[in-house]
Structure 1
Amino acid sequence: MTPKIAALFPGQGSHAVGMGADLAAAFPVAEAVYAEAEAALPGLRALIETGPLEDLTLTANQQPALVAASVAAYRAWQQKTGLTPMVAAGHSLGEYSALVAAGVLTLGDALRLTRQRGTLMQQAVAPGDGAMSAIMGDPAVVAEVCGGIDGVQTANFNAPTQTVISGTAEAVATASAELKLRGLKAIPLKVSAPFHCALMTPAAVGLSPDLQATAYGPFTFPVVANVTAELNDDPQRVPELLERQITGAVRWVETITALAGMGVDTFIEFGPGKVLSGLVGRIVPGARTIGMGTAADVNAFEL
């Protein structure tokens, strides 16, 4: 019986120098992705293949680089297997990769949009003015505490007991201290900006004209939107959902729960790293997860 596959695409933090190079060497469709990435954003391919890591890590570079690596893995897998997922989802930036896989965004448009998205997000807040922290514990307590402190909000619902908060450095520190008093654990994150909070409003406003001007094709399969945790198969809704995503929370727990409720029995993470596979395992214990980030992964894939 054909598995019910959800294609998952990672966000920032999963990058690595050299990611996807073996895929490009082994699969012509993956090579074509990297060639198109270089044509759209000259210099990006060299940065992906040889670094340096500190330059690849810059938000404006990391975002399109991860789109390229994730789409290369997806297209290599699809060419090798002939399979198509029933649905897709991406974590934050990964939503752009999911939309490329679904045929809604062209690769070139996704690369250009994420380069602009990363640039605007980096410019929205001065270095040191914002912060993010991962909170381990009851998300209801996190929401309650953040609701009582100006300048901080929940940014990522990553797992049942892992919620990321984001906002001004002062507000995040205040909320983290209060959460620790309530018995939760707070871990400051090394990030270049406070993503998925109101401080990103200038980035959302700045990207809006580009999102509105982009052409969106029909969905081959639906994509779960980050900000709603609901299926979308309407191209006309994509610009608004992607704009809201910049300041809104990534509702990953609800997303994976919804996919499991649809009958998905296989979650495949396309791109470098295994972050999403780990989160899926915490949200749906016992779920079948497969990492698809290298040529060996693609060649070893079995139903």
Structure 2
Amino acid sequence: MTAPLRIAALFPGQGSHAVGMGVDIAAAFPDAGETYATAEATLPGLRALIESGPLDDLTLTANQQPALVAASVAAYRAWAAHTGLTPAFAAGHSLGEYSALVAAGALDLADALRLTRRRGELMQAAVPVGVGAMSAIMGDPAAVQEVCSAQVGVVQPANFNAPIQTVISGEKAAVEAAGAELKGRGLKAIPLKVSAPFHCALMQPAQDGLTPALDAATFHVPAFPVYANVTAQPSMDAAALPGLLARQITGAVRWVEIIRALHDAGADVFVEFGPGTVLTGLVKRILPDARTVNVGTAAQVQDFAL
């Protein structure tokens, strides 16, 4: 008898949004429809924004974060109900960690929506526009860390996305200086169009602001392990989850380590729930032979097969 495949459920972060995301799933599957109804009841106007835009408003951090949680959780719940399958593990990229915790039953959807709305507001307000910057660096991550640590001012690795793709974040001048130094060493530095310098020390006001809300929220033991961004390890301790989410705001997203840890734990297939294919693309760059599947449309739910 063949052992069942062990599924790692992945949930995307900012940048994967699109107007209309998940609308076909919500129309076709009751569990997804209920998810969107909860989103609307919790944050009035969010469903219309997801369905019809405009894109500029949906892209605003305070809207995009809860909207992506709603779309990702809707896709997951439709898939779970349709297939009867349960993941062995889960992980979310930055914001996606909230979706992963909802999928695992560790956090109520309404709480996740309220927390990510507040998270987005605080992150946007933490740094005045033009003060911070982010750049994607293509090359050896050890060189990236070395150069960042030698700069004057705030600049640090924010996302370890792939073996040779690291995003740096911090004060604009320090990010630019680090990028110039890395270019001089033969690496590529690509400035990113972002609304704020995420996952760096400049986000401390946002971390401080969100911590009371996280501490006040109710967390449960996850039904399956959810790998945290800041540790690249799972935690089955409900009491530890608020602190992990708080630290995530200023800490780096250790995505390469997370995907390798999931593989080492026995993940056979990586399924990305929600709009876009960003995470499956990163998985392929980390583990070229990995099996990946996307579940972001009604057809992909209906046609899912392992």
Task: With the length of structure 1 as denominator, give the TM-score of the two structures.
Answer: 0.99
Measured in 1, the distance between the counterparts of 2:220 and 2:248 equals 20
State the partner residue of 1:54: 56
State the partner residue of 1:167: 170
1:279 aligns with 2:279: no
State the partner residue of 1:40: 42
State the partner residue of 1:133: 135
- Give the Å deviation of 1:263: 1.1
Equivalent of 1:107 in 103, 106, 109: 109
- Give the Å deviation of 1:2: 1.2
Query: The residue matched to 1:231 in structure 2 has which SS?
Result: coil
Measured in 2, the distance between the counterparts of 1:219 and 1:278 equals 27
State the partner residue of 2:148: 146
State the partner residue of 1:188: 191
Counterpart AA for 1:227: V
Counterpart AA for 1:289: T
Counterpart AA for 1:94: G
- Give the Å deviation of 1:217: 1.6
- Give the Å deviation of 1:232: 0.9
Measured in 2, the distance between the counterparts of 1:230 and 1:263 equals 14
State the partner residue of 1:225: 228
State the partner residue of 1:253: 256
**1:3-49 C-alpha deviation (Å, 9 max, x unpaired):** 10000000000000000000011000000000000000000000000
State the partner residue of 2:159: 156
Measured in 1, the distance between the counterparts of 2:76 and 2:273 equals 6
- Give the Å deviation of 1:290: 0.3
Measured in 2, the distance between the counterparts of 1:10 and 1:214 equals 22
State the partner residue of 2:216: 213
1:300 aligns with 2:300: no
- Give the Å deviation of 1:218: 2.0
**1:141-199 C-alpha deviation (Å, 9 max, x unpaired):** 00000010131000000000000000011110100000000000011111100000000
- Give the Å deviation of 1:285: 1.1
1:291 aligns with 2:305: no
| Structure 1 outlier segments of 4+, above 2 Å | none
- Give the Å deviation of 1:220: 0.4
Measured in 2, the distance between the counterparts of 1:191 and 1:263 equals 35
Q: What pairs with 1:191-206 in structure 2 (closer than 5 Å)? A: 191-206=194-209
Equivalent of 1:2 in 1, 4, 7: 4
- Give the Å deviation of 1:208: 0.4
- RMSD of equivalent CA atoms: 0.5
Measured in 1, the distance between the counterparts of 2:117 and 2:237 equals 24
Corresponding pairs, count:
303
State the partner residue of 1:89: 91
Query: The residue matched to 2:130 in structure 1 has which SS?
Result: coil
Q: Unpaired segments of 5 or more residues in structure 1?
A: none
